Amino acid sequence: MLDIQDTTLDTLKPGEKASITKVRVKGSARRKLFDMGMVAGAEIELIRNAPLGDPMEYRIKGYHLSIRKEEARQIFIQKL
Amino acid sequence: MEDREIKIALTGNPNVGKTTLFNALTGSRQHVGNWPGVTVEKKSGRVAYKGYNIEVIDLPGTYSLTAYSMDEIVARDFIIEEKPDIVIQVVDASNLERNLYLTTQLMELGSEILIVLNMCDIAEDRGDRLYIDKMQELLATPVIRTVATQKKGLCDLLDKVIEQKELKQHHGHEIGYGNEIEEKILDIEKVLIEDEKRDKRYPLRWVSIRLLEGDDNVKGKIVNSPVYGRVMAIIDSIDQEEYEAEIADKRYLAINTIFPQMCTRANDTLTKSDMIDRVLTNKYLGIPIFLALMWGAFELTFAFATPFMDMIDLAATWASEYVSSSIHPDWLASLVGDGIIGGVGAVLVFVPNIFILFFLLSLLEGSGYLARAAFIMDKLMYKIGMHGKSFIPMLMGFGCNVPAIMAARSIEDEKDRLITILIVPFISCGARLPIYVLFAGTFFGRQAGTVIFAMYILGIAIAIVSAKILRETIVKGKPAPFIMELPPYRVPTLKTSLIHMWDNGFMYIKKAGTIILAGVVVIWVLASFPWGVEYGSEASYVGSIGHAVEPLMKPLGFDWKISVALIFGLVAKEIVVASIGVLYGTGDSSEALSERLLADSGVTALSSLSLMAFSLLYMPCVATVGVIKKETGSWKWTIFAIVYGIVVAWIIAFLIYQGGRLLGY
């Protein structure tokens, strides 16, 4: 269980799935991420990076959501 | 019997088809698109049905009622303060879980809810199965199926609205947040209720939950209450971030427990939309395709328009000749011929460009590509201190700056939004095009296209540099996080695109018939008086005005006539061309005007370049200034936008003209 806290969303590779464990993003983005379904236990999959490498496109709750690496780095996951 | 009134509000996540439903219900033709945030203001319409007069209000789309952005506040305040009889939440059946998150919040607000399940066709084509009866039972609220684009299910919906209004039974239930949070909610409620003067439209439980979630907007509403200090003491005693997470978790948990009974989702198969994205946002192809699309749109705008422009030009020339030979007395012939037909005609020639431009923008919008454009461009935008979402208003700015500035509302962060509003006026709108076409066409012959393209690039470059400067000086800080839904691609309907094209193109024609017409009449009067002077000569009033500002404009290569045209162009940039038409008295016909400019106007290729750059950059037109004031709510920023524009325009035009002269042109 030790490695759970170390894995963050930005390390996911295209096609890999994970379950969100904790959102450490601060400020108004925090609530926005919750609104968009980024809550603990939600399943998330990386679809692709944008052509310039950032932001990323994820699938969550059956739809596609884009966020930057900067936020993804503060979202903790457990790979599935 | 008098018609009974019912007021219903349409709410729901962005891009679920609220406006399509609104249009289908009320017969309006509000603009719809396929990117989150098309509707930025509430719109209202009416429908008469079975003896009821139903007012329908279309609210901006929101993911939640947490008031993260301005359109969310518009939607929330309306629901709370105007208390519509029924709140209809339009739900995207293919995206049920996230859509239901808003439902949980609407229920907390105590609204009378009715759920409209839209886009069932998309969900079912994908292989999802929806159990509507089960959904009604589990959510304890009526659920109606519609396909708004095909006007299916509208009567069912209206019948249900009437039934629900007459029954007056309350639907919906609340979510429990677990012992610890529930205790705090109770604590806060107990304190809040002591304030007799509190705003009773806001349910106590809802206010308490919002406060625990750290909603500053709600906090602001009770800041003057005598119990404020005690409420804050409770809030300060908790780990607010944890509560925020816990509350959101609980809402989604509630959805997750009922969701599998309402819908079985097909396995994640690769949809058409996914396949399109594999190409359009591909690592290597994404950017070339993006650039090709932008360039293609630009090319089409000009290539398609040319034959139509020639036709309008021909008609205007004929009208002008007819007028000068058949109308008496001479002064009237001059007013109609030189003034009205000359001025307005010069502007109408560009109607085909405007129509095509808006048609293409609408195709991009309706397909869902604009959201991808923001996705592709975000990294670059971030580098210049802007947000990826600012890209959409900037792109729309090529059509008209006014709706573009309004579209900036979907940008959540106030600073990101302010910067976007301040730089959009540098994006070359359709109204500036006539100026380029006239001068580039006259002085640059075969290179005209390149010169016009350079003007667009100049506008973009100035916008970028300005954004960077603003970020480093008065609007310090980093762009807000990019959190955006990428909606599935849809085939844009031809009807929607044509309506969008017509409405915006018609606005341009209307402008030609009103504000520009008035402008050219004023210019004609000023050019013809005092009585007896030669028309448009230095002795006329325009001559005096022109001479007064000439010293300022001389270093840019502008004589007094051009200076006058630029002053009048402040009303609307098309007037620059119109007033040049009037001042040179060429009747109409851009051909005749071109000849005059080449022959003896004193305008050279170099000064025309300086003039094009100046027209592009100097103060935004009156309509844009108006919308900047409205959207920023601040005279300070409005005046800043004006002064900044004029200063930048002067400097750039100065550099072009004086630089060119040094180089020997």
Inside any domain, residue B219: yes
B412 has a chain A CB within 8 A of its CB: yes
CA distances from B63 to B10, B135, B155, B410, B484 (A): 14, 20, 27, 12, 11
Query: How much is the pLDDT for B152?
Result: 82
Tell me how far apart the alpha carbons of residues B158 and B164 are, in angstroms, rounded to a whole number. Answer: 10
Which of B252, B375, B485 has its CB closest to that of A39?
B252
Does B109 fall in a domain?
yes
Q: Which residues contact B50 (CB under 8 A, 6 or more apart)?
A: B158, B159, B162
- Rounded CA-CA distance B563/B611 in Å is 10
User: Are residues B287 and A37, on separate chains, in Cβ contact within 8 Å?
Assistant: no
Regarding whether B89 and B235 lie in a shared domain, the answer is no
The answer to whether the CB atoms of A29 and B376 lie below 8 A apart is no
Q: Please tell me the distance from the alpha carbon of residue B37 to that of residue B544, in angstroms, as a whole number.
A: 48
Residue ending a domain, among B244, B264, B284, is B264
Q: Torsion angle of alpha carbons B376, B382, B385, B390, nearest 10°?
A: 40
Same domain, yes or no: B100 and B72: yes
Q: Which of B53, B248, B51, B86 is CA-nearest to residue B160?
A: B86
- B97 with B209, same domain: the answer is no
In this prediction the pTM is 0.82
Task: Give me the pLDDT at residue B451, please.
Answer: 93
pLDDT digits (tens, 9 = 90+) for A1-29: 445 557 999 999 999 999 999 999 988 88
Average confidence (pLDDT) over A53-62: 93
Check if the beta carbon of residue A37 is closer than 8 Å to that of residue A44. no
What does the angle CA B47 – CA B50 – CA B51 come to, to the nearest 5 degrees?
85
CA distance to partner chain A, nearest, from residue B74 (Å): 17
> Which of A67, A70, A74, A5 shows the shortest CA–CA distance to A35?
A67
Task: Give me the domain span that covers residue B94.
Answer: 4-167
Measure A43 CA to nearest chain B CA, in Å: 12
pLDDT, greater one: B313 or A58: A58
Task: Pull the structure tokens for residue B268.
Answer: 């994640």
Å between B90 CA and nearest CA of chain A: 17
Whether B375 and A57 lie within 8 Å, measured CB to CB: yes
- 459-518 in B: which are within 8 Å (CB) of A? 480-488
The CATH number given to whatever domain includes residue B79 is 3.40.50.300
Cβ separation of B68 and A31 shorter than 8 Å? yes
Most B-contacting residue of A32, A59, A74 (CB-CB within 10 A), to test interface: A32
- Tell me: do B14 and B129 sit in the same domain: yes
Contact (CB<8Å) A62/B388: no
Angle between helical axes of B240-262 and B204-212 (0-180°, round to 10): 120
- Domain end point (choices B245, B264, B283): B264
Q: Is the Cβ of B68 closer than 8 Å to some Cβ of chain A?
A: yes
Q: Which of A51, A63, A71 sits opposite B282 (nearest CB)?
A: A51
Mean pLDDT for each 10-residue chunk of chain B (665 residues)? 82 86 82 58 84 90 78 82 91 91 89 90 84 91 85 89 81 80 94 89 90 88 91 91 91 90 78 88 91 81 78 81 80 78 73 80 84 91 88 83 79 87 92 87 88 92 93 86 90 82 79 76 80 75 85 89 84 79 65 76 87 92 82 90 95 95 86
Contacts of A36 in chain B (CB under 8 A): 63, 98, 483, 485
What pLDDT is stored for residue B590 in this prediction?
A: 65
Residue B379: its chain A contacts at CB < 8 A? 50, 52-55
Question: Does B76 share its domain with B196?
Answer: no
Are residues B202 and B115 part of one domain? no
The average pLDDT across A42-69 equals: 94
CB pair distance less than 8 Å for A62 and B95: yes
Model ipTM value: 0.93
Within this chain, do residues B163 and B15 fall inside the same structural domain, yes or no?
Answer: yes
pLDDT of residue B32: 61
Examine residue B544 and state whether it is found in any structural domain, yes or no. no
Residue of B97, B480, B485 with shortest CB distance to A64: B485
Q: Which of B94, B90, B74 is nearest to B82 (CA)?
A: B74
CB atoms within 10 A of CB B268: 12
Mean pLDDT, to the nearest integer, of A39-60? 94
Give the distance, in angstroms, between the CA of residue B363 and the centroid of all CA atoms in the same chain: 15
Q: How many domains does chain B have?
A: 2
DSSP of A13-62: PTT-EEEEEEE---THHHHHHHHTT--TT-EEEEEEE-TTS-SEEEEETT
Q: Give the nearest partner residue to A36 out of B98, B265, B282, using CB atoms.
A: B98
Instruction: Return the number of CB contacts < 8 Å for A and B.
Output: 130
Number of domains in chain A: 1
Contact B244 A31 (CB under 8 A): yes
The reported pLDDT for the residue numbered B201 is 85
Query: Between B245, B281, B481, which is nearest A48 by CB?
Result: B281
What do you get for the CA distance between the two ends of chain B, in Å? Answer: 80
Cα separation, B9 vs B56, whole angstroms = 6
Contact B378 A68 (CB under 8 A): yes
Q: What is the pLDDT of residue B2?
A: 58
3-state secondary structure of B50: coil
The whole-angstrom distance between A18's CA and the closest CA on chain B is: 15
pLDDT for res A2: 47
B68:A32 CB<8 A: yes
Residue with tokens 């749109």: B297
Computed over every residue of chain A, the mean pLDDT equals 90
Closest-approach residue (CA) in chain A for B266: A62
| Domain extent for A12 | 2-79
Residue of A nearest to B123 (CA): A62
Angle, CA B367 vertex, CA B366 and CA B370 arms, to 5°: 85
Per-residue pLDDT at A1: 46
pLDDT of residue A15: 92
**Touching check for B380 and chain A: CB below 8 Å?**
yes
User: Could you say which of B230, B264, B298 is where a domain stops?
Assistant: B264
Taking contacts as CB-CB distances below 8 angstroms, the residues of chain B near A55 are 375, 378-379, 388, 482
For residue B514, tell me if it sits in a domain.
no
Q: For position A66, which CATH number holds?
A: 2.30.30.90
User: To which residue do tokens 């998150």 refer?
Assistant: B101
Structure tokens at B5: 């009134």
Q: Are strands A17-23 and B143-145 parallel, antiparallel or unpaired?
A: unpaired
Residues B15 and B145 in one domain: yes
To the nearest whole angstrom, how far is the Cα of A45 from the nearest Cα of chain B? 11
Please check whether residues B86 and B135 belong to one and the same domain.
Answer: yes
